[in-house]
Structure formats: structure tokens, C-alpha cells
Amino acid sequence: MSRSGYSDDCDTWPLICWRGAVSSALRGRRGQQFLIELRDALDAMPEKRLIAEQLQDSTGCHCTLGVIGAKRGLDMTGLDPNDREAVSKAFGIAEAMAAEIVHENDGEWRWDNETPEQRWTRMRTWVERHITAACAP
């Protein structure tokens, strides 16, 4: 099982329900506010690079969610990056949204070797693509 909790053994109806939960979380007011905050935090990073598999590493690098945690001053040392329920609660977002961001960040569906800089670019594009025109400043 991956950090996002996604797996390949999902039946049709549960998958449809899950994708609906993800879409709803991303489009909702709370999700849109989070995406805008995330976009701004990504843009403010002095080094445009993201890690995979963990919220933060020993050198101070972060994954996409970890960038928000650092911006907010959240102590992530005791937060298990594999516990999507705890992660979603710590960041104030729906569990489906947390899982989707982790899935995208970690590139669980990719087979190439992506650099941290390429991950930042891909995730920045992903975030921007999910901010609706009505919410974009």
C-alpha cells in the first residue's frame, strides 16, 4: 500500500464514490482555500524542489503537503505521513483531498526518475489546474 492509501484492487462502485469524494473536496470552499494557500506557499519557496514519501526530511525539504505545514509552523515530526486520516486532520482538509495530493506528489503512477525540481513544476501545475476560476484571485 502506498502513502496515499491507494491500491489497484478497487471495485467499480467504490472507485466511483471515491473519485466523487476527491472531486467534491477539491471543488469545495475549504479545498479551494487550501489550494490557493498551497499555490502561494509553493511560489514562495526559495528552492523550487519537492520530495516524495515523507512530509519533510532531515535537510528541511518538504513534499507538497509539507510545504503548507512548514508555512503554518506545524510540527510534523510526530505526524505519520502514511496515516492519511491524521494528515488530513492536521492540515484541515478532507481525507480524500489529502490522499489525492499525496498520490500526485509521490508520482505513484510514474515510471520515470523525476527530479525534485520536476516534481515541484508538476505539482505547481496540478495545483493551479484545480483552482476554479471563481476562486482564483
* CA-based torsion, 20, 13, 53, 119: positive or negative: negative
Q: Is 68 exposed, middle or buried (0-12, 13-18, 19+ CB in 10 A)?
A: buried
Residue 53 has pLDDT above 70, yes or no: yes
Q: Please state, for a pLDDT cut of 70, what percent of the chain lies above it.
A: 85
Beta-carbon contacts of 26 under 8 Å, excluding residues fewer than 6 positions away, are 32, 35, 97, 100, 130
pLDDT in tens, 61-108: 999 999 999 999 999 988 999 998 999 999 999 999 999 999 999 987
Q: What is the pLDDT of residue 49?
A: 97
pLDDT in tens, 56-65: 999 999 999 9
Instruction: Determine the Cα–Cα distance for residues 111 and 102; give it in Å rounded to an integer.
Output: 16
Q: Is 14 exposed, middle or buried (0-12, 13-18, 19+ CB in 10 A)?
A: exposed
Cell digits of residue 110: 510514474
Please choose, from the candidates 81, 64, 70, the residue with its C-alpha nearest in 3D space to the C-alpha of residue 123: 64
Per this entry, what is the length of the chain? 137
Grade residue 4 by pLDDT with cuts at 50, 70 and 90: very low
Place of cell 503512477: 109
Residue 36 has pLDDT above 70, yes or no: yes
Identify which has the larger pLDDT, 106 or 3. Answer: 106
Residue 130 has pLDDT above 80, yes or no: yes
Q: How far apart are the first and last CA of the chain?
A: 37
Q: What is the pLDDT of residue 110?
A: 66
- In this prediction, residues 108-132 reach a mean pLDDT of 89
Q: What is the pLDDT of residue 9?
A: 58
